[in-house]
Amino acid sequence: MIDENLKNQYKSIKAPESLKARVMADCENAQVQKSKKPAYKYIQVIAACLVACLCIGFVGMGMVSSTVYLNGEIYMGEEIALEQNVPSPAMQRAIVNGGQVIEIDAKLETKISISAGEFTLLDSETGEMIYSGNEYSVKGKVIVQVSLKDGENAELQLQNILSSRTISLENSN
């Protein structure tokens, strides 16, 4: 049916030379156009990186704008179980009934509030009482002593311009 002669005829068909010239010319144009893109793409990438850095910066600043310490250790959790008479080795002055020693290092003006019960703020350096109640704005290092009734739970909220953090206080008494 399709003999070798016919097949050879078919195989002898070649693309015209003019086609090659046309394709190679368009290839060069296409390549030049493609190379125009990277500069714009790089600008987009750099802009995205800058935005990401700024976001990370803001988030990071938010995270460190007020650091919570629990018994001398940085505390990142969302819940604190309150126990009676927990001594803080470094803060002998801070032992009170019904409260666990919480220290806050507020690098920015930070509003401290509690949803139930009350708290007392003490100066970390001197131990002097700064405030007693349920809402206060403070900057610097303070010790927070929380007082809750038996069975009463609360939320301690720390708010500043960069961040907001809520710590649930579970009363184990």
Partner 1 sequence: MSFPPEKLAEFEFLYGLYADKLYRIALSNLQHREDASDIVHDVFIKYLNTAPVFKDAKHQEGWFVTVTVNACRDLLKKKAHRNYTPIEEVHNLKAEEKEERDIVSFLSQLPEKYREVIVLHYLEDYSVTETAKLLKISQSAVKMRLSRGRELLKNIMKGNSND
Q: For residues 34 and 41, which CB has a smaller minimum distance to partner 1 in the complex?
A: 34
Q: Mapping DSSP to helix (H, G, I), strand (E, B) and coil, where does residue 1 land?
A: coil
Contact call for residue 63 and partner 1 (CB under 8 A): no
Tell whether the torsion through CA atoms of 13, 18, 22 and 23 is positive or negative: positive
Q: Which of 138, 107, 98 is nearest to 122 (CA)?
A: 138
* Alpha carbons 139 and 105: distance in angstroms, whole number: 8
Site for partner 1 in 6-45 (CB under 8 A): 6-7, 9-16, 18-20, 22-24, 26-28, 30-32, 34-36
* Alpha carbons 33 and 85: distance in angstroms, whole number: 74
**Count of residues touching partner 1 (by CB under 8 A):** 27
Contact between 98 and 150 under an 8 Å Cβ cutoff? The reply is: no
Question: Shortest Cβ distance from residue 27 to partner 1 (Å)?
Answer: 5
Site map 98..117 versus partner 1, x via CB under 8 A = --------------------
Q: For residues 15 and 97, which CB has a smaller minimum distance to partner 1 in the complex?
A: 15
Question: Shortest Cβ distance from residue 39 to partner 1 (Å)?
Answer: 10
- Token readout for 163 is 């961040």
Contact set with partner 1 (CB under 8 A): 1-2, 6-7, 9-16, 18-20, 22-24, 26-28, 30-32, 34-36
